[in-house]
């Protein structure tokens, strides 16, 4: 099979190549002229809905050249039909709009997804249950499973949740943001839809917001694209250009970030005795369940979390670091650390989340080592 980086550079070659430029240009147009020849007009009522993202662009809320190119590359990368959105949360909203469940089972995970569910519960009475309450699901309901899960990079057993859901006719949406390809492949375990905050590893440079849903069924893609037209959540012009640029180098970045994170976590774990303030390290590489090895076949998440002994220590550690910037988010080429309570109202006050970038991992280890040793 053609290698991943080759596909990331070529999968959109035949999609809306309107100019000979090697790098697809940024399109600023929101609207596109109809054909000059009236014989080529297609009435809206006769248009093939499946061609909305591949045919001649009409209006950028429907699709535009770089959103279509992103979908071609992401579809290839993620093994299905991809639909892009203007944020990770927009993609979650699109998934729940599509499945329209009465009850959603959900664990911890990204707090913004809970924010959307709370709106749906308030307005439409959507019920929320925990991942240990799957007996409350029935046909048409949904499990939203984020794995590895924010902020601890905890891996959940996808095969287990898929079986439980499918036994009662419910659906499973997997938010795979923390372990994009080739780290894990949720399709192997039978999920119904895959979601990513493209803002993170696909964007990779902390300069764009994007989301993506992937389905194995082209009819589902057509419905999602039609819904997106009316939700108004297509990715914007500049962001799609940036996303396409980023996808070209994605394989190199994710492999380095994943292997660096594992190396750093292993170092901290082995040298725990040197860091009296360090109480817990959370990372998929330290999780012993059998399913972790089955699921994280291509490597571990580039995100890990640490808990320090006191709130004061957690608050002050970011300021002692030279290479990690104190900031929320993850997935970019620059390493970040976050005193998580600053952005997540539910986070423990002793928790720091770390997103490993592409710097030399030995420099990152030395930086964490000096900062942890200086934390008394």
Ligand X SMILES: Cc1ncc(COP(=O)(O)O)c(C=O)c1O
Nearest distance from C-beta of residue 238 to ligand X, angstroms? 15
Q: Closest CB to ligand X among 195 and 372?
A: 195
Do residues 231 and 87 touch, judged by C-beta distance below 8 A?
A: no
Q: Which residues contact 360 (CB under 8 A, 6 or more apart)?
A: none
Which is closer to ligand X, CB of 197 or CB of 261?
197
Shortest distance in whole angstroms from residue 177 CB to ligand X: 4
Q: What span, in angstroms and rounded, lies between the C-alpha atoms of 42 and 366?
A: 63
Q: Which is nearer to ligand X, 185 or 367 (CB)?
A: 185
92/189 with CB nearer ligand X: 92
E-strand ranges in the chain read 81-85, 103-106, 127-129, 142-146, 171-175, 193-197, 211-215, 278-282, 303-308, 325-326, 336-339, 351-355
Closest CA to 334 of 206, 195, 247: 206
CB of 192 to ligand X, least distance (A): 17
Q: Distance (Å, rounded) from C-alpha 151 to C-alpha 153?
A: 6
Minimum distance between the CB of residue 200 and ligand X, rounded to whole angstroms? 6
Q: Is 338 helix (H, G, I), strand (E, B) or coil?
A: strand
Q: Which is nearer to ligand X, 197 or 372 (CB)?
A: 197
Where along the sequence are the contacts to ligand X (CB under 6 A)?
A: 87-89, 110, 112, 146, 150, 175, 177-178, 197, 199, 209, 211
Min separation Cβ 342 and ligand X, Å: 13
* Minimum CB–partner distance for residue 222 and ligand X (Å): 24
Residue nearest to ligand X (CB): 88
- The Cα 290–Cα 287 span in angstroms is 9
Residues whose CB is less than 8 angstroms from the CB of residue 317 and which lie 6 or more positions away in sequence, other chains included:
308, 337, 339, 352, 371, 372, 375
277 versus 352: smaller Cβ distance to ligand X: 352
């Amino acid at each position: 099979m053609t290698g991943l980086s080759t596909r990331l550079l070529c999968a959109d070659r035949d999609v809306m190549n309107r100019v000979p430029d090697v790098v697809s240009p940024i399109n600023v147009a929101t609207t596109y002229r109809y054909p000059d020849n009236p014989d080529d007009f297609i009435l809206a009522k006769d248009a093939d809905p499946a061609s909305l993202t591949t045919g001649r662009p009409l209006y950028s809320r429907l699709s535009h050249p770089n959103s279509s190119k992103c979908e071609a590359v992401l579809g290839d990368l993620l093994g299905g039909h991809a639909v892009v959105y203007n944020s990770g949360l927009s993609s979650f909203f699109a998934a729940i709009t599509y499945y329209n469940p009465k009850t959603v089972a959900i664990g911890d995970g990204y707090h913004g997804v809970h924010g959307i569910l709370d709106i749906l519960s308030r307005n439409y009475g959507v019920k929320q249950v925990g991942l240990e309450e799957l007996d409350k699901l029935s046909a048409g309901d949904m499990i939203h499973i984020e794995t590895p899960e924010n902020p601890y990079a905890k891996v959940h057993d996808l095969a287990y949740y898929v079986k439980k859901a499918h036994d009662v006719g419910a659906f499973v949406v997997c938010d795979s943001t923390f372990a994009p390809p080739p780290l894990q492949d949720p399709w192997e375990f039978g999920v119904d839809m895959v979601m990513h905050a493209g803002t993170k590893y696909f964007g990779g440079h902390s300069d764009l917001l994007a989301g993506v849903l992937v389905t194995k069924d082209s009819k589902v893609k057509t419905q999602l694209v039609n819904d997106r037209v009316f939700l108004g959540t297509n990715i914007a012009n500049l962001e799609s250009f940036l996303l396409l640029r980023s996808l070209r180098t994605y394989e190199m970045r994710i492999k380095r970030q994943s292997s660096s994170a594992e190396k750093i976590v292993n170092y901290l774990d082995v040298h725990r005795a040197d860091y009296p303030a360090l109480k817990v390290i959370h990372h998929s590489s330290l999780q012993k369940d059998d399913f972790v090895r089955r699921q994280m076949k291509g490597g571990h998440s580039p995100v890990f979390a640490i808990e320090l002994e006191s709130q004061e220590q957690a608050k002050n550690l970011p300021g002692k670091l030279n290479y990690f910037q104190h900031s929320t988010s993850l997935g970019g080429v620059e390493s970040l650390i976050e005193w998580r309570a600053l952005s997540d109202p539910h986070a423990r006050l002793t928790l720091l989340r770390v997103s490993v970038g592409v710097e030399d991992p030995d420099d990152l280890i030395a930086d964490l080592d000096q900062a942890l040793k200086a934390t008394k």
